[in-house]
Chain A
Amino acid sequence: MKKPNTPKALTDHFFRHEYSKMVAVISRYFGLNKLDLAEDIVQDTLLEAMKNWEYNGIPPNPEAWLYKVAKNKAINAIKKSKFESTEWPKVDDSGATEDLFDENKIQDDMLRMMFACCHPSIKIESQTALILKTLCGFTIDEIATAYLSNSETINKRLVRARKTLKEAEIELKLPSDSELSNRLDAVLHSIYLLFNEGYNASSGDQLIRYDLCREAIRLAKLIAGHDLFKANSTVHALIALMFLNASRFRARITSDGQLIRMENQDRKLWDQRLINSGLEHLEKITKEKTLSHYHILATISAHYCTAIDYDSTDWVSILQLYDVLIKIDNSVVVQVNRVIALAKVKGAERALQELEAIPVNRLVNYYHYHTVKADLLTQTGKLNQAKTELQTASKLTSNNAEVQHLRSKLGLLEK
């Protein structure tokens, strides 16, 4: 028997990332209206690889193996289509496919795909699902797990998104100069949503959530790697923010899934490598005059990450940053977070006043408001009111770790 190649280890997430590369590349030739066919071809290719490699070992160059198989399948699909319909783009299947999987072009293809997924005609919740499917190689089930949803809902979203891609005749190309900035904002927003979905945990599955964060960073770095965006400060600000926040990921949850507030986190668990990466990206844009909200948030996060302990955090600077942030982002989330810093600088009494000044109608269902309020009420000795707030808060979150955290606080108050 021919001795199989010595098994070569695949890099982490190799299949997932190759999936997204191949979908992006094949779509360049097929057009976005054939996205589902491109995905089928790639799925088939990976399946063939899996069946073959488990018996014969992983080939010395697994990427080349995959690309060759995918290319053949794509060419066959094109040949077959020539008998069936005429609506296909004219593809020269002799020369054009030669460089189908040119490594330099793959990055461009993925970037174009990203802009297509975040096209303004696609609904925002579908954008992130589409990104996860086509650019991160997540299955429908995995996306459903990540969004605490079910497969049917996610599938419907994807079907609708693909339909929009067709109907709006969205092309796989980078936006023109005039709309580049707006379109980039939309892409970054979607990536940030993806990150937060992982970070703020509406789902209990730690692994999937960590993957979401990692994928969001990977996509943002892909953008930063392109000549058009290399010097774009908003991109670097977002990457810095995600790195810095992600550095605390493992310190935020106990092994049994309980949420740990920053003041109680074991700072030795903070990932120093990620902190450094975040600070490096922040360093690139320190001279920037106009601050994006990512930039401000990243700077706030950097203050947390570089403090020796919670009490010696530079709360004065953080409060100043929130004061700037609130002018460009007056959302409830920002207002409530600002109050936390305010309490550290000016005391709980004052913070409570400002918190209560936020119009109530904007706070419906925002559970974090109630947890912060409960903390401030506890600090100012209004224990009964604090209890009520904690009870309200625990009704508003479906996150088990949060609920347990709130319960333990409630338990402390009742002692």
Chain B
Amino acid sequence: MKLLQKTNRAYFLVSGTAFLFAGVVFYFVISFFFKGQLNEKLHHDIKNITRAIKKSGAIPNYYPFIEIREVSKQPEQSFRTTDTLIFNVFENRNIPFRQISLISVINDKEYFIAARDTLIEEDELLEVIAITTGLVFILLLACLYFINRKLYMKIWQPFYKTLDELKEFSHDKPAFRLSSESELYEFMELNKTLEKLTKKVISDYQSLKRFTDDASHEIQTPLAVIQSKLETLMQGTDLKMDQAELINSAYIYTLRISKLTQTLLLLTKIANDQFPDKKAINIAGLIGEKIKMFEDHILEKSLKLSKEIDPECIIETNFFLAESLIINLIGNAVKHNVNNGVINIKLEKAHLEISNSGETLKESPLKLFERFYKTNMSSDSPGLGLAIVKEICRLNKWEISYVFENNLHKVVVNF
């Protein structure tokens, strides 16, 4: 719900309740006040009539407003107040009257004197009050709405600008500044805090990035030295066989450490979201290219490759990550395959399935995606391929799953 909507709704509810309450109070106050006035007037009427009869002896009669008749009852000291219905010939219905009556002795005769006047009809009063309060209510609401709208536009405008700018925020940009200015303390504080926060995010991100860069430099440079020394050593013409073996094994392990650090740093970089540049990538094309890369290995193991690829599959993501994902998945399918095995690659819309034959897993398939997981502990590979795949999927919010069915290992990615 939007702010404007919310405040309007609150105004409506609160003022609605207030007006309803005011209407009720209004009704009682008016009817109380009116009845008081009426009683006072009728008392005066009776006094005036009494005085007139005493003076002139004539008995006026204005039914139903004034009624005087001779009675033979004991005179009363105090007025009697009653409400009564009297039939009105013009309106052809009963109309409520207030009556004040007294039995009084005038010129030695007992008279019943009653003064009456119409009461306000309750439903009419109610109607009038309802209409007036209703009208005032609508008028007020309209005013509130317009004031609110105006204020909303004016006061909240810097807020919305800030919001728009925040949406554009990206941690890999060198600096982030909020341009909106407001005279309101709260918004100024908000902007200040946000700027502080984004500055921190950017600097944290930069230092993480620097760390991975420095770490790779500090590790890879010594490795480069070792590797070049070993390669120089290999050129020796009088190397004995066992020496050659020693050198070669040191060389191979150096390469392995180097690959391992590269992979671990890649994992860190993916986790840090250091691959911000996204573009539309043709996954089908990428798969074709990477299959070609592995064609020698496929041939070597005499693997049977079947493809069912939708050439129109375009995914918006980072190219390097997409490439890593495809290489790892196809590479795994080749590497963990058996001779004369099969690889099936299926790509339709945003759904990729790669299945391959291979030895059955001895452990839970969930472990597959863990770092350093190996089915065969003596294997040369560090077991990071699927961990990378998982991280890439996590970063891109893609779904990934593994099943073993029909004697095939199947990895499914939903882009």
Decide whether A and B are members of one complex.
no
Q: Which residues of B contact A (CB under 8 A)?
A: none
